[in-house]
Amino acid sequence: MSEGNAAHNHTGPGHHHHEPHAPSYYVKIWAVLLVLLIVSITGPMLGNKILTLITAFGIAVVKALIVAAFFMHLNVEKKYIWYVLLTMLAAVAIFYFGVAADVQKYNGSNWTKPASYKYDEDMKKAHEAGGHGGEHGAEHGAEAGATHGAAQ
């Protein structure tokens, strides 16, 4: 459908129009988005962690794709706009996977992060005590430097 539309309508500059849809078409898509929103909110109530991840993030991806395809008209846009956007997403993915090995762990092969670990433990304790888990940075300031050095 997209190819046919694209070829038919891209006759010249300034006339880059796809077939107009009736407003009801967009309202239907909006209704689908709202159903997905309700599913993503009610998902966590089932209490299953994996299910929550699927309902929360899986549905976020689906919603984003629906908005991109139908509201942003990427379904009838030239294919390479997808490639531009996916290239940018790929850059983010490269960033994540390159950095997570260092930032997302307490222990590496040559180092540990005692300060980060202590921060996490303190936060948990504060939460159990009913506090807000903040305000305990200043007194440990002196340890800041020793955290990420190579501990060989």
Partner 1 sequence: MATAIPIATQRSATGIPTGKLALWWVIGSEIVIFGGLLASYLMMRLMYDSWSDAASHTNTVAGAINTFILLTSSLFAVLAHDAAERGKGPQAAGYLLLTIGGGLNFLVVKAIEWTGEISHGFTITTNTFWSFYYTACGLHGLHVIGGMICMGIIAFDAVRGKNLQRVEYIGLYWHFVDIVWIFLFPLIYIAK
Partner 2 sequence: MATQGHAAAANGHDAHGHGDHHELSFVQKYIFPLDHKIIGMQYLFTGILMGVIGALMSYAFRMQMAFPGKAVPPFGLITPEFYNSMVTNHGSIMIFWFAMPVLIAAFGNFLIPLMIGCDDMVFPRVNRLSYQIFLLSAIVLIASMFVPGGGFGGAWTSYPPLSASSVYNQTPYGAPMWLFAVALEFVAFLLGGINFITTLMNSRAPGMKMYNIPIVIWMIIIASILFMASVGPLIAGAVMLLFDQTIGTGFFDPVRGGDPVLWQHLFWFFGHPEVYVVLLPAMGIVAEVLPVFARKKLFAYKTVLWTAIATGVLSFVVWAHHQFVAGIDPRMANIFTVTTLLISVPVTEMLFVYIGTLYGASIQLTTPMLFAIAFIAEFLIGGVTGIFLGASGSDIYFHDTYFVLAHFHYTFIPIAVIAVFAGIYYWFPKMFGRFMNDFWGKVHFWGTAIPFNGIFLPLFYTGAAGDHRRSFDLLNFPELRQPNLIFARQFATISLLVMLGFQVIFFINFFYCMFRGRKAGANPWNANTLEWVAPSPPPHGNFAELPNCHRGPYEYSVPGRESDYWPQNEPAT
Positions touching partner 1 (CB under 8 A) are 10, 12-14, 16-17, 20-21, 23, 26-27, 29-30, 33-34, 37, 40-41, 43-44, 52-53, 56-57, 59-60, 63-64, 67-68, 70-72, 77-78, 81, 84-85, 87-89, 91-92, 95-96, 99-100, 103-106, 116, 119-121, 123-124, 127, 132-135, 137
CB of 85 vs partner 2, minimal distance in Å: 11
Q: How far apart are CA 38 and CA 57, in angstroms?
A: 13
Residue type, 29: I
Is there binding between residue 137 and partner 2 (CB under 8 A)?
Answer: yes
Nearest Cα residue to 5 out of 116, 13, 16? 16
CB-based contact 106:112 (threshold 8 Å): yes
83 touches, from partner 1, partner 2, none (C-beta below 5 to 8 Å by class): none
For residues 76 to 115, the per-residue mask of contacts with partner 2, x marking binding by CB under 8 A and - elsewhere, is: -----------xx--xx-xx--xx-xxx-x--xxxx-x-x
- Tell me what percent of the chain is helix, strand and coil, each rounded to the nearest 5: 70, 5, 30
Q: How far apart are CA 107 and CA 126, in angstroms?
A: 23
